Amino acid sequence: MKSYILNHLRELESEAIYVMREVAAQFENPCLLFSGGKDSIVLVHLARKAFWPSLIPFPLVHIDTGHNFEETLVFRDELVKKINGRLVVGSVQESIDTGRAKEETGYNASRNVLQTVTLLDTIEKHKFDAAIGGGRRDEEKARAKERFFSHRDEFGQWDPKNQRPELWNIFNGRKRLGEHFRVFPISNWTEMDVWQYIYLENIELPSLYYTHTREVFQRDGVWLAAAPFMMLKPEERIQTLQVRCRTIGDITCTGLTLSSADNLEDIIQEIAATRVTERGGRADDKRSEAAMEDRKKEGYF
């Protein structure tokens, strides 16, 4: 008898597409949170597959910290044009200017935490009732308990101890007015799955993921990009090195990897051989053992 088995990437793909279609069917005004990182680029790819030959039936939302790599913004705008999509930008600078958020100061100042204010304001302003994100359960231990359909109360908060049980592939997206859902279609993917899928589907990525020459400096064992708004400590020296990004976030908290990988196969080899998790380079997670959990409860991505 013929064997009907999908390989693991196709099964994960089918699951993610199923979740995307549930969002489109169950919610009135969903959106897709787009950071410019590889996970959200994969989400856009999956969304195109889910609704083809229609266009993606929801806008991309970018929470712009103002501290982006230039390449991220260029890539974002080209992608939006290519998929003939809609883009909504929430600006952290605007949240600061209007007094909704207060800029951190000091050497480790980051706008990462401030994004939550802008994100929640953007969701409220546009009355989004579901926000699709690229969070994965393998990223961080608080995420390991996250649901595909994650309920948020009217303040945008996550209550990890009171989550709805999620059984089979039946997703309960029922909610009261003012509440919303965060939805994570690639919950079950690992970093390796994402890279293998990018390779399998030949998905275009920003050049930052491949090796390039950049001015960098080292802090607490992590390589960071030099930028005008990055304050250097007296002992920190700028060097020019061959690096690439393993994840892409705000410049202030994106750790760079010393690497000469200039193609996907080499990157996959590098990930396979690597000894640190991808969030190990993220300064935002190192603030405390429960850093991610605390941010998520407040309404972070």
Partner 1 sequence: MDQHNPSEFSSKAYLGMELLRFTTAGSVDDGKSTLIGRLLYDSKSIFEDQLEAVKRASVQKGSEHINLALLTDGLRAEREQGITIDVAYRYFATPRRKFIIADTPGHIQYTRNMVTGASTANAAIILIDARNGVIEQTYRHAYIASLLQIPHIIVCVNKMDLVDWKEEVYESIKAEFKAFAAKLAIHDVRFVPISALLGDNVVEPSAHMPWYGGGTLRYILEAIHIGSDYNHIDPRFPVQYVIRPESQAYHDFRGYAGRVAGGVFRKGDKVMVLPSGFSTRIQGIYAMEEELEEAFPPQSVVITLEDDLDISRGDMIVREDHVPEISQDIDIMLCWMNPRPMEVNNKYVIMHTTRQLKCLVKEIKFKVDVNTLDHIEDGTSMKMNDIALVSLRTTKPLFFDPYRTNRITGSVILVDEATNETVGAGMIV
Binding site for partner 1 (CB under 8 A): 3-15, 17-18, 21-22, 24-25, 48-55, 137-138, 141-145, 160-161, 163-170, 172, 174-176, 187-188, 190, 192-193, 196, 200, 265, 268-269, 272-277, 280, 289-290, 293-294
CA dihedral 243, 249, 255, 260 (to 10 degrees): -20
Q: Quick one: 69 or 195, whose CB is closer to partner 1? A: 195
Q: Quick one: 167 or 228, whose CB is closer to partner 1? A: 167
| Shortest distance, position 200 Cβ to partner 1, whole Å | 7
Instruction: Return d(Cα 107, Cα 104) in angstroms, integer.
Output: 9
Is 120:262 a contact under the CB 8 Å cutoff?
no
Q: Quick one: 22 or 64, whose CB is closer to partner 1? A: 22
The one-letter code for the residue type at 106 is G
Instruction: Return d(Cα 137, Cα 150) in angstroms, integer.
Output: 13
| Shortest distance, position 263 Cβ to partner 1, whole Å | 12
Q: Quick one: 165 or 228, whose CB is closer to partner 1? A: 165
Q: Quick one: 193 or 284, whose CB is closer to partner 1? A: 193
| Shortest distance, position 172 Cβ to partner 1, whole Å | 5
Give residues with Cβ within 8 angstroms of 117, minimum separation 6: 92, 95, 100, 101
| Shortest distance, position 299 Cβ to partner 1, whole Å | 17
Is 111:250 a contact under the CB 8 Å cutoff?
yes
Work out the number of other CB atoms within 10 angstroms of the CB of residue 23: 26
Is 67:251 a contact under the CB 8 Å cutoff?
yes
Q: Quick one: 237 or 275, whose CB is closer to partner 1? A: 275
| Shortest distance, position 29 Cβ to partner 1, whole Å | 16
| Shortest distance, position 185 Cβ to partner 1, whole Å | 11
Tally helices (H) and strands (E) across the chain: 8, 10
The one-letter code for the residue type at 83 is I
Q: Quick one: 167 or 233, whose CB is closer to partner 1? A: 167
| Shortest distance, position 91 Cβ to partner 1, whole Å | 32
Is 148:154 a contact under the CB 8 Å cutoff?
no
The one-letter code for the residue type at 14 is S
